[in-house]
């Protein structure tokens, strides 16, 4: 098979490295890709959001499948455009991608189908939103832009002043553009967070190994929110009992609800969950693989990924027995100093071999480019360093040991990835591995 992957970050690199293991794959392509990806797939310069451009190269290359990884092309309808040309595509169509593309849609879906989530109100008028906040007077309050906002559309306000400023900046100053025309104000939930990525063909849902993201820029969960500074899998808070509850009250009801709304979801459905005192609740849905969750989840997969993608597209997922390694994985993100604010690019990276790798770990390139056979930084998140081991503690030791061998000017990474998971008493309990 010839497969084209759309996207150019660490998640796409992890998908490509896993596909590269398949004996069924002859040729891998990626657009736009990055320096590290170019060692495993032929890269093109078509942007991930350029629907016509991607359809065109998919036709030119006569690929057997296109894997659309990022949220924006999915929400814009890239899968619909590919299918209209008779090209097989992995990922939800536009109607189904609304589960991430519109928070108002996803919250209303959960309310209609009784799927546990935070209580909320929707506003299309900033004055009414501010009036509501004044009357409600409960803090922290969570304010979310309706549409996509590069993962920055959620503001947790500690008091009325902050909440009011959030509403004004999203709705009046339009810091997220049209994505902020409507907002959701919801109740603040407490508890450990778990990410569960699931394969689904719309009828069957198959959860992957659970994971834990670390979204804040600095140690001890301080600093600004980022796209993710590291991940571990499995997530020790996700016990068998919680997994069973999620399947019954969240996962199956969600795919049934989507089918019922004529928005059958086929692809990878990501559940951002919070384990509250009242049980697991949905914080957010994503219509795609998470980043950097994918960089710990896919390395633990033992089944051929292309067989799973085919089964999702052909709606035969129930025939497949997906296998996972009984191990733990840790991924440390090496970022540019200053990220998620301003940072420099074009800095030379030392410590990588000619394939952009290092022994003992897998290096997933997020923001790198190659010049004269050398790797240079080209983004905020630069590398994801993933290691596997029988124990989470040794996976973390291995990953951090690899991190210490790689360097670039002003490199920044968190030193405490996985500490919360290690400290969790629940680690003593049986971990879930499907
Ligand atoms: P999102 O962009 O939807 O992933 O949200 C970013 C982060 O905001 C989540 O990972 C949570 O940590 C936090 N968050 C979102 N909604 C809530 C909520 N209702 N209560 C508490 N924290 C939340
Ligand atoms: N790691 C969170 C996300 O991919 O949205």
Counting ligands in written order, which one lies closest to the CA of residue 230?
2
Tell which atom from ligand 1 comes closest to the C-alpha of 284. 3
Ligand 2 within 6 A of 9 CB? no
pLDDT, tens digit, 9 for 90 and up, residues 365-374: 999 999 999 9
> To 10 degrees, the CA torsion angle through 99, 32, 49, 381?
60
pLDDT one-digit tens code per residue, 14-56 = 999 999 999 999 999 999 999 999 999 999 999 999 999 999 9
Nearest to 383 by CA among 369, 396, 397: 369
Ligand closest to Cα of 191 equals 1
Residues in the chain: 434
Q: Is it the case that residue 434 has pLDDT exceeding 50?
A: no
DSSP 214: -
Indicate if ligand 2 lies below 6 Å from the C-beta of 291: yes
Crossing angle of helices 160-167/126-136, nearest 10°? 160
Sheet holding 120-123, edge to edge: 120-123, 183-187, 141-145, 154-157
DSSP alpha helix (H) spans, 71-138: 71-76, 78-84, 94-101, 103-112, 126-136
Residue 340 and residue 225 in contact, taking contact as beta carbons nearer than 8 Å = yes
To the nearest 10°, the Cα dihedral for 251, 257, 260, 262? -90
- In the structure, what pLDDT confidence band is assigned to residue 425 with cuts at 50, 70 and 90? low
Query: What is the pTM (predicted TM-score) of this model?
Result: 0.95
Residue 71 near ligand 1, beta carbon < 6 Å: no
- Pocket probe mutation, ligand 1, options 154, 187, 224, max atoms within 8 Å of Cβ: 154
Q: Ligand 2: does its nearest atom lie under 6 Å from the Cβ of 293?
A: yes
The whole-angstrom separation of Cα 118 and Cα 109 is 13
From 69, 97, 150, 151, give the residue whose CB has the most ligand 2 atoms within 8 Å, as the site to mutate. 151
For the Cβ of 231 lying below 6 angstroms from any atom of ligand 2, the answer is no
> pLDDT tens for residues 244-296?
999 999 999 999 999 999 999 999 999 999 999 999 999 999 999 999 999 99
Q: What is the DSSP letter of 430?
A: P
Res 431 pLDDT > 70: no
| DSSP for residue 317 | G
Look at residues 116, 181, 111 and name the one whose alpha carbon lies nearest to residue 153.
181
pLDDT higher than 70, residue 428: no
Band (pLDDT 50/70/90 cuts) for residue 225 is: confident
What is the position in ligand 2's atom list of the atom closest to the CA of 228?
Answer: 1
pLDDT band, very low/low/confident/very high, at 429 (cuts 50, 70, 90): low
Q: Name which of 167, 221, 172, 218 is nearest 193 in CA terms.
A: 221
Spatial neighbors of 398 by CB under 8 A, at least 6 apart, are 330, 360, 361, 387, 388, 389
Strands, E assignment, 179-278: 183-187, 193-200, 205-207, 212-213, 216-218, 222-225, 230-233, 267-276
What is the set of domains in the chain, with CATH numbers?
A: 2-91 (3.40.50.20), 125-181 (3.30.1490.20), 193-428 (3.30.470.20)
Q: Cα torsion at 352, 354, 357, 363 (round to 10°)? A: 90
Please compute, for residue 343, the number of CA atoms within 13 A of its CA located in the half-sphere on the CB side: 22
> How much distance in Å is there from the Cα of 151 to the middle of ligand 1?
10
Nearest Cα residue to 415 out of 221, 254, 246, 258:
221
The rounded distance, in Å, linking the Cα atoms of 24 and 305 is 10
The residue to mutate among 293, 335, 366, 417, having the most atoms of ligand 2 within 8 angstroms of its beta carbon, is 293
What is the rounded average pLDDT of the residues 327-344? 97
Residue 267 token pair:
């692809």
pLDDT digits (tens, 9 = 90+) for 122-166: 999 999 999 999 998 889 999 999 998 877 788 999 999 999 999
Nearest to 47 by CA among 57, 39, 37, 62: 57
Q: Report the separation in Å between the CA atom of 270 and the middle of ligand 2, taken as the mean of its atom positions.
A: 9
Q: Cα–Cα distance between 288 and 286 in angstroms, integer?
A: 6
Report whether pLDDT(214) > 80. yes
């Amino acid at each position: 098979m010839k497969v084209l992957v759309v996207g150019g970050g660490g998640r796409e690199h992890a998908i490509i490295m896993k596909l590269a293991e398949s004996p069924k794959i002859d040729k891998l392509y990626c657009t736009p890709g990055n320096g590290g990806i170019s060692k495993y797939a032929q890269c093109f310069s078509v942007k991930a959001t350029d629907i016509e451009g991607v359809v065109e190269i998919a036709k030119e290359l006569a690929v057997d499948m296109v894997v659309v990884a990022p949220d924006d092309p999915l929400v814009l309808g890239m899968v619909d455009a590919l299918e209209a040309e008779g090209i097989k595509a992995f990922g939800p169509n536009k109607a189904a991608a609304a589960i991430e593309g519109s928070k108002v849609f996803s919250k209303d879906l959960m309310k209609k189908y009784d799927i546990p989530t935070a209580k909320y109100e929707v506003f299309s008028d900033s004055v009414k939103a501010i009036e509501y906040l004044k009357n409600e007077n409960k803090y922290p309050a969570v304010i979310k832009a309706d549409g996509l906002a590069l993962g920055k559309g959620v503001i947790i306000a500690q008091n009325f002043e902050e909440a009011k400023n959030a509403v004004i900046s999203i709705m009046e100053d339009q810091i997220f553009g049209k994505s902020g025309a409507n907002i959701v104000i919801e109740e603040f939930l407490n508890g450990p967070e778990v990410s569960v990525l699931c394969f689904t063909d719309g009828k069957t849902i198959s959860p992957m190994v659970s994971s834990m993201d670390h979204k804040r820029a600095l140690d001890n969960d301080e600093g600004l929110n980022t796209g993710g500074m590291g991940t571990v899998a499995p997530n020790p808070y996700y016990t068998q009992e919680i997994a069973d509850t999620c399947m019954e009250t969240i996962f199956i009801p969600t795919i049934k609800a989507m089918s019922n709304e004529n928005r059958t979801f086929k692809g990878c459905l990501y559940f951002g969950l919070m384990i509250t005192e009242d049980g697991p609740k949905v914080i957010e849905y994503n219509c795609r693989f998470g980043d950097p969750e994918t960089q710990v989840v896919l390395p633990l997969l033992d089944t051929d990924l292309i067989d799973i993608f085919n089964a999702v597209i052909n709606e035969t997922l129930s025939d497949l027995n997906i296998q996972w390694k009984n191990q733990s994985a840790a991924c440390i993100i090496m970022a540019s100093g200053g990220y998620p604010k301003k940072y420099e690019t074009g800095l030379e990276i030392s410590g990588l071999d000619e394939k952009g790798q290092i022994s003992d770990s897998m290096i997933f390139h997020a923001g790198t480019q190659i010049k004269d056979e050398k790797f240079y930084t080209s983004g905020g998140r630069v590398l994801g360093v993933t290691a596997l081991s029988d124990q989470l503690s040794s996976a973390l030791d291995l990953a951090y040991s690899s991190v210490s061998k790689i360097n670039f000017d002003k490199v920044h990474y968190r030193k405490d990835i996985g500490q919360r998971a290690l400290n969790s008493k629940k680690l003593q309990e049986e971990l879930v591995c499907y």
